[in-house]
Structure 1
Amino acid sequence: MSTPTTPRPAPAGPAAKAPERPAYAAQARGGPGGGPFGGRVQEKSLNFLPSLRRLLQQLRPERGVLVGAIVLAVAGIVMSVLGPRILGHATDIIFAGVTGRGPVDFRALGDTLLLALGLYLVSSLALLLQGYLLNGAVQRSVRRLRDGVETKINRLPLSYFDRQTRGELLSRVTNDIDNVAQSLQQTLSQLLTSLLTVIGVTVMMFVVSPVLAVIALVTIPVSVLLTTVIGKRAQRMFVAQWRSTGELNSHIEEAFTGQSLVKVFGRQREVEQVFAERNDAVYRASFGAQFISGLIMPSMFFIGNLNYVVIAVVGGLRVASGTLSLGDVQAFIQYSRQFTQPLTQVASMANLLQSGVASAERVFEVLDAEEQTVDGGAGLPVVRGRVEFDDVSFSYVEDQPLIEGLSLTAEPGQTVAIVGPTGAGKTTLVNLLMRFYDPQSGRILLDGVDVATVPRAALRSEVGMVLQDTWLFHGSIHDNIAYGRPDASEADILAAAEATYVDRFVRSLPDGYATVIDEEGSNVSAGERQLITIARAFLADPTLLILDEATSSVDTRTEVLVQQAMAALRSERTSFVIAHRLSTIRDADVILVMEAGAIVEQGSHEQLLERRGAYWRLYEAQFAAAVE
């Protein structure tokens, strides 16, 4: 048939209404940003090595490219480490001529220098190509990671988004993934070349002078110990940094979205105070993480300089004794610099790697979240619209039942109105029918088929939905209406707009149907936004229709007109209408009165008034008091 008429933005499902489940909503808002003055998330310690291993596994599809990059890196480093040895030989040629052992052999000197120049040039080209291949592999891997997160988001149940604030979730799938990409891109290439340089230089140092090589290698355990001690403290700070960043983003997103509400209640100071507190938390965590991890590089420089002094003194003594040539000492000093420099680079990359792994762990938490049950079974046959709830029980929170043993039947073409006080479970009933949630027990049948055995997409393609909380995406009015049925013709779109009185106000807009609605829909009124969502449902032509306070934001005159359009829309369709305004459901075939998750009364408008029960009390509360 048609696609679902009310799209669900990833951050929060449209059917999730806090008033229907106060206990659960209170629990769900326990995270960061759950209100301008909400709580804080629990800190999860960083499990560095397993998370790093899992992050590197994202590169597995790039094995061929990585092997090529490693080969190029090895070739480039080998030629690079041979350079000082050849330049040392050039120094010996010059020294021999200066000390009177014979004239300087400029031909041999030129050949030696050209050889060194050629090696350095080829080495640079190899390392440049290696960096190109490695960066490409990293970016493709991060792209797959983003695709994986996007796919995962679409497989998560609505309850997951109820427990997560939008700012925190957006921070994970944007800031954290960007940080992972930056960390991998900056560290992998440099770590590879640095480690290979250390190996190559170590070999050459032992070739030149085993004694000096042993002196130089003494710095390795000292450097490793220092890096480990500093790194452990930095890990905790990086976890705190990204957790605090997520909390700050959550508060900003919430405060900016609800800016009008904040100003209405005069809570700017409180919002600014919470912002200041969370901003300070980000500052303290970021400063601590960067400062502590930043201690690694100057410490390594200090150790490297001490090592340089010792090598220079011992090397000078061995030249004086004739054990080593001047060229060998020169080459070894270059090697010692080449040895400490990559160690310093590895240390400087440690803070980036720790930050990247901390962000990766936050992304992995999303990827590891429990998914909704897997769709099974085949698609639906031709749907007539008979809906049956068979002894259904459901709760958002364990040990806090909301609906228990509910049974009802809606025949094809019937209009079933659902009324009751806030929190009675009206919207929950619709959530279960749409399979936004699955019941703990009982069955929901559509034409005798258990909806739990039907793919969600097939089920929702038969349902049109208009919610009290309208949702329009950034685009034109035309595109928002056409979302209900992408293959609809222009004539169908215009007919849907005219039938739902959208055409009436669109004609007065300067750009007409091409008017672009911003993200918050602030350039059209709340009632006009609701009319657009009704037109979207009208265009979808669904078999089942769900109206959740669909006319709550329109004026009384427009409501009468829309009711006429909705009556035409409900014709020959099974409709579920959730309403607080009882005047809108007088002509319903069946009215269900819900209290505390149970149906306490059902019947027509006249029948329920005659019983003078729960429905009569609701009706009297709305109309009798108004008349008085």
Structure 2
Amino acid sequence: MQNKQPSQGSLGRFFSMLWKARLPYAWIAGYLVVSVLMTNVGISATEYTAQLYAGNVDFWGVVIPFLVVSLVSLVIGSVSGMISGICMARIDRNLRRAVWQKIVRLPFGYYQQNAPKELISRVTTDISTISALIMQVFLLALTSLYSTVRLFVQIRSYNSRLMVATLVLLPLQVVIGVLAGQLKFGLSDEVNRRTAELTEAVSERTGQAMLIKSFSAQKREEEAVGRRAKAFYRTSVLNAWVTNFVSPVYVLVGALQFIVIVMVGRGFYADGSITLAQWVAYFVFANQIINNLTAYTGYWTSLKSAQGATNRVAAVMAEPEEDRDAGEPVGTLQGDIVFDHLRFGYGETLLFDDLCLTIPQGRATAVIGPSGSGKTTLLNLVERLYPPPKPAPSASAGTTSAGFPSAATGRR
């Protein structure tokens, strides 16, 4: 059975999927507003903290504002966390509902080409990956961008040359993040694929436990699931090795940048370009910028890691659905069931070639044959679970080209 491939690219299918899922845009907008507010309050709290470290303990001018801003920051942080949790839960719910509605509306031939058990992973694991991608990558990337720009503006208010010196520290983090993201993408996608295969194997055999025991096939089925579990184990271990190799590299780069930040700030403070309080604040702001940049490399890694899951779900959502309005309404069906020169196959495998068959009305007709001979397919064709395409102009009535389904069924 051949399906029409979606014409959209993977990125287009992904955003089309999000549009169909109807994300909680009001909650997402609220989360972004709260995040922006939290960034501004955090900058004010840092400046008051720097004043205290510099020895300015003015009670009304520094201490009281510091306590108020710190309390407001805690409240906003709690509100932000609550909204984030609600957003993720709603995104999960909407995506799962949209994907499940799509699955039950797909034509029967889709399940012939794709193992239905694998769809469990599409609705569970892959959806969780996408919701985490939206909340913990896309939205955090936006808020981190605003935070980074705001911090640079604040540093520039101290000294423009200090801002330029900070920019010089950034390229190394970008290079490391891109390389790590490319490496982890392939491994994470492989882990997701192995998870789907293991889930499919276990789900299928759990439902057939009595049949397995009846045929004394326990050993064979143990080995079949064991092979998938072993493949999943090997991929997971390799992914863990790569992850734990990349982490120390990040730590080393961060340590080097910490030293450079201290030395740069000390130089500007020594020549009187900035005050002591500004040096302390600059040290905090520069580290926040580095942390934001490090987070961006993590966002890139997460994006590449989740790309497989997003492509799989987006591909399901892009599949053409059954046309429920196709056909003509009929009353009570009467007469024989007739297959007239039927030609039908799955992909390149031809099952029926020029089949002519009449099933008389009012009589019991038995269809007998070995497994795989087409008995179930014949019933599916009668029920029109496989919709026939239009015959080619050169083909005779009731036939199509090889490899395409033709359900030339009817009643007379």
Give the TM-score normalised by structure 1.
Answer: 0.55
Match of 2:366 in 1: 418
Match of 1:204 in 2: 154
Tell me, in whole angstroms, the C-alpha distance in 1 between the residues paired with 2:227 and 2:235. Answer: 12
Higher gyration radius (CA): 1
Q: Deviations over 1:136-188 (max 9, x none)?
A: 33432332221222222222222222333343222222222233334434445
What is the one-letter code of the residue matched to 2:363? T
Residue 78 of structure 1 pairs with residue 37 of structure 2: no
Find the partner of 2:251 among 297, 301, 320.
301
Tell me, in whole angstroms, the C-alpha distance in 1 between the residues paired with 2:184 and 2:350. Answer: 42
Residue 235 of structure 1 pairs with residue 185 of structure 2: yes
Structure 1 pair 50/241, CA: closer, same or farther in 2 (3 Å)?
Answer: farther
Pairwise CA distance, 1:193: 3.5
Aligned residue for 1:402, secondary structure, equals: strand
Q: Is the 8 A contact 1:297 1:344 kept in 2?
A: no
Q: Is the 8 A contact 1:293 1:351 kept in 2?
A: no
Pairwise CA distance, 1:56: 5.6
Structure 1 pair 288/424, CA: closer, same or farther in 2 (3 Å)?
Answer: closer
Residue 116 of structure 1 pairs with residue 66 of structure 2: yes
Tell me, in whole angstroms, the C-alpha distance in 1 between the residues paired with 2:167 and 2:15. Answer: 28
Aligned residue for 1:119, secondary structure, equals: helix
Aligned residue for 1:159, secondary structure, equals: helix
Aligned residue for 1:435, secondary structure, equals: coil
Match of 1:89 in 2: 51
Percent identity over the alignment is 25
Tell me, in whole angstroms, the C-alpha distance in 1 between the residues paired with 2:351 and 2:107. Answer: 19
Tell me, in whole angstroms, the C-alpha distance in 2 between the residues paired with 1:313 and 1:278. Answer: 54
Q: Is the 8 A contact 2:170 2:290 kept in 1?
A: no
Match of 1:167 in 2: 117
Structure 1 pair 55/131, CA: closer, same or farther in 2 (3 Å)?
Answer: farther
Structure 1 pair 264/425, CA: closer, same or farther in 2 (3 Å)?
Answer: closer
Structure 1 pair 132/191, CA: closer, same or farther in 2 (3 Å)?
Answer: farther
What is the one-letter code of the residue matched to 1:434? E
Residue 437 of structure 1 pairs with residue 381 of structure 2: no
Residue 256 of structure 1 pairs with residue 206 of structure 2: yes
Residues 503-582 of structure 1: pairs in structure 2 closer than 5 A: none
Pairwise CA distance, 1:338: 1.6
Pairwise CA distance, 1:297: 4.5
What is the one-letter code of the residue matched to 2:369? P
Residue 394 of structure 1 pairs with residue 359 of structure 2: no
Q: Is the 8 A contact 1:171 1:249 kept in 2?
A: yes
Match of 1:66 in 2: 28
Residue 221 of structure 1 pairs with residue 221 of structure 2: no
Q: Deviations over 1:593-615 (max 9, x none)?
A: xxxxxxxxxxxxxxxxxxxxxxx
Q: Deviations over 1:178-218 (max 9, x none)?
A: 33334434445543443332222222122223333333322
Pairwise CA distance, 1:232: 0.7
Tell me, in whole angstroms, the C-alpha distance in 1 between the residues paired with 2:254 and 2:117. Answer: 45
Instruction: Count how many residue pairs are aligned between Structure 1 and Structure 2.
Output: 388
Residues 287-298 of structure 1: pairs in structure 2 closer than 5 A: 287-293=237-243, 295-298=245-248
Match of 2:325 in 1: 375
Tell me, in whole angstroms, the C-alpha distance in 2 between the residues paired with 1:354 and 1:329. Answer: 38
Aligned residue for 1:200, secondary structure, equals: helix
Pairwise CA distance, 1:247: 1.3
Aligned residue for 2:325, secondary structure, equals: coil
Pairwise CA distance, 1:75: 1.8
Pairwise CA distance, 1:266: 4.9
Structure 1 pair 300/121, CA: closer, same or farther in 2 (3 Å)?
Answer: farther
Pairwise CA distance, 1:229: 0.7
Tell me, in whole angstroms, the C-alpha distance in 2 between the residues paired with 1:55 and 1:309. Answer: 46
Structure 1 pair 257/297, CA: closer, same or farther in 2 (3 Å)?
Answer: same
Aligned residue for 2:409, secondary structure, equals: strand
Tell me, in whole angstroms, the C-alpha distance in 2 between the residues paired with 1:426 and 1:311. Answer: 75
Structure 1 pair 199/123, CA: closer, same or farther in 2 (3 Å)?
Answer: farther
Match of 2:405 in 1: none
Q: Is the 8 A contact 2:184 2:242 kept in 1?
A: yes
Match of 2:236 in 1: 286
Tell me, in whole angstroms, the C-alpha distance in 1 between the residues paired with 2:137 and 2:272. Answer: 43
What is the one-letter code of the residue matched to 1:136? I
Tell me, in whole angstroms, the C-alpha distance in 1 between the residues paired with 2:52 and 2:291. Answer: 24
Residue 334 of structure 1 pairs with residue 284 of structure 2: yes
What is the one-letter code of the residue matched to 2:274? L
Tell me, in whole angstroms, the C-alpha distance in 1 between the residues paired with 2:76 and 2:223. Answer: 54
Tell me, in whole angstroms, the C-alpha distance in 2 between the residues paired with 1:180 and 1:375. Answer: 33
Match of 2:227 in 1: 277
Pairwise CA distance, 1:351: 4.1
Q: Is the 8 A contact 1:394 1:402 kept in 2?
A: yes
Pairwise CA distance, 1:368: 2.7
Pairwise CA distance, 1:89: 3.5
Q: CA RMSD in A?
A: 3.3
Pairwise CA distance, 1:260: 4.2
Tell me, in whole angstroms, the C-alpha distance in 2 between the residues paired with 1:173 and 1:218. Answer: 45
Tell me, in whole angstroms, the C-alpha distance in 2 between the residues paired with 1:425 and 1:120. Answer: 73
Pairwise CA distance, 1:330: 0.8
Aligned residue for 2:48, secondary structure, equals: helix
Pairwise CA distance, 1:378: 5.4
Pairwise CA distance, 1:77: 0.6
Tell me, in whole angstroms, the C-alpha distance in 2 between the residues paired with 1:391 and 1:158. Answer: 22
Match of 1:36 in 2: none
Q: Which runs of 5+ in 2 are unaligned?
A: 3-8, 390-396, 399-407
Q: Deviations over 1:464-517 (max 9, x none)?
A: xxxxxxxxxxxxxxxxxxxxxxxxxxxxxxxxxxxxxxxxxxxxxxxxxxxxxx
Pairwise CA distance, 1:240: 0.9
Structure 1 pair 50/421, CA: closer, same or farther in 2 (3 Å)?
Answer: closer
Q: Is the 8 A contact 2:155 2:282 kept in 1?
A: yes
Tell me, in whole angstroms, the C-alpha distance in 1 between the residues paired with 2:12 and 2:256. Answer: 35
Tell me, in whole angstroms, the C-alpha distance in 2 between the residues paired with 1:163 and 1:327. Answer: 67
Q: Comparing both structures, which one devotes a greater share of its residues to helix?
A: 2
What is the one-letter code of the residue matched to 2:28? L
What is the one-letter code of the residue matched to 1:274? A
Structure 1 pair 240/297, CA: closer, same or farther in 2 (3 Å)?
Answer: same
Tell me, in whole angstroms, the C-alpha distance in 1 between the residues paired with 2:16 and 2:170. Answer: 28
Higher RCO by CA contacts (8 Å cutoff, separation 6 or greater):
2
* Bigger shift: residues 189-198 or 222-231: 189-198
Structure 1 pair 118/141, CA: closer, same or farther in 2 (3 Å)?
Answer: same
Tell me, in whole angstroms, the C-alpha distance in 1 between the residues paired with 2:288 and 2:343. Answer: 67
Tell me, in whole angstroms, the C-alpha distance in 2 between the residues paired with 1:248 and 1:146. Answer: 21
Tell me, in whole angstroms, the C-alpha distance in 1 between the residues paired with 2:10 and 2:45. Answer: 37
Tell me, in whole angstroms, the C-alpha distance in 1 between the residues paired with 2:13 and 2:145. Answer: 21
Residues 458-497 of structure 1: pairs in structure 2 closer than 5 A: none
What is the one-letter code of the residue matched to 1:88? A
